[in-house]
Amino acid sequence: MGNIHRYWEYLTGIGLRPEMSFLLQQRIRLSNLVGLIVGGIGSFYLLVVILLIRGNFAAAWTLLPLSFFGWGVLVFNRLGLNVVSRLSMSILPALTTLWLNLNIKLYTPDKIGLIHYISPRFFIISTVVIPMVLFTRGEQLYLIFSVAVILFCGVFGYRWLHEVLGLTLQDLGIPGEAYSTVMTEDITFVIVNLLVVLIFSRYLNGQFERNTHTLLSEANEKNRQLNEREKHLKEILLDIKQRQLDEEKQAWVAEGLARFSRILQIASLEASFYKKFLHELIKYLQAGYGAFYLMEESAEKGQMLVWQAGYIPHRQEQHRPVFALGEGLPGQCARDGKTIYLTELPASYPSLDAGLDKIRMKSLLVVALKFNDEAEGVIEILSLHDFEAHHIEFVEKLAENTAALLTHLKANLRTQQILDNSQRMFKQLREAQQTWKTKEQEYQYEIETLQAALRTQSEASL
Closest CA to 137 of 25, 274, 24, 289: 24
Task: Please tell me whether residue 296 adopts helix, strand or coil conformation.
Answer: strand
Q: Mind listing the pLDDT tens digit for each residue in 171-194?
A: 555 555 445 544 554 555 456 555
Task: Please tell me whether residue 204 adopts helix, strand or coil conformation.
Answer: helix
Distance (Å, whole) CA 154 – CA 94: 8
Sheet holding 340-342: strands in order across? 322-324, 302-311, 289-298, 374-383, 363-371, 340-342
Q: How confident is the model at residue 348 (pLDDT cuts 50, 70, 90)?
A: low
CATH number of 267-418: 3.30.450.40
Instruction: Kindly report whether the global pTM for this prediction surpasses the value 0.85.
Output: no
Note the pLDDT of residue 117: 62
Average pLDDT over residues 368-378: 89
Note the pLDDT of residue 76: 83
Distance (Å, whole) CA 328 – CA 321: 11
Residues near 314 by Cβ (< 8 Å), separated by ≥ 6? 350
Distance (Å, whole) CA 22 – CA 42: 30
Q: Mind listing the pLDDT tens digit for each residue in 55-98?
A: 555 555 656 766 777 788 888 888 888 888 888 878 877 877 77
> What is the gyration radius of the CA atoms in the chain, in angstroms?
54
392: pLDDT strictly greater than 50? yes
> Who wins on pLDDT, 356 or 417?
417
* Alpha-carbon distances, residue 50 vs 41, 54, 55, 60 (angstroms): 14, 6, 8, 7
Give the DSSP letter of residue 312: B
Q: Mind listing the pLDDT tens digit for each residue in 261-308?
A: 888 888 777 878 888 888 899 999 988 888 999 988 876 777 888 888
Q: Mind listing the pLDDT tens digit for each residue in 130-182?
A: 787 778 777 778 888 888 888 888 777 777 777 777 766 555 555 554 455 44
Distance (Å, whole) CA 74 – CA 69: 9
Q: Mind listing the pLDDT tens digit for each residue in 242-261?
A: 999 999 999 999 999 999 88
Residues near 347 by Cβ (< 8 Å), separated by ≥ 6? 360
**For the chain, domain boundaries:** 2-229, 267-418
Contact status, residue 339 vs residue 367, Cβ threshold 8 Å = yes
In 286-388, where does DSSP find H-type helix? 328-336
Note the pLDDT of residue 353: 59
Note the pLDDT of residue 47: 73
Note the pLDDT of residue 185: 47
Query: How large is the greatest C-alpha to C-alpha distance in the chain, in angstroms?
Result: 207
Contact status, residue 401 vs residue 257, Cβ threshold 8 Å = yes
Q: How confident is the model at residue 397 (pLDDT cuts 50, 70, 90)?
A: very high
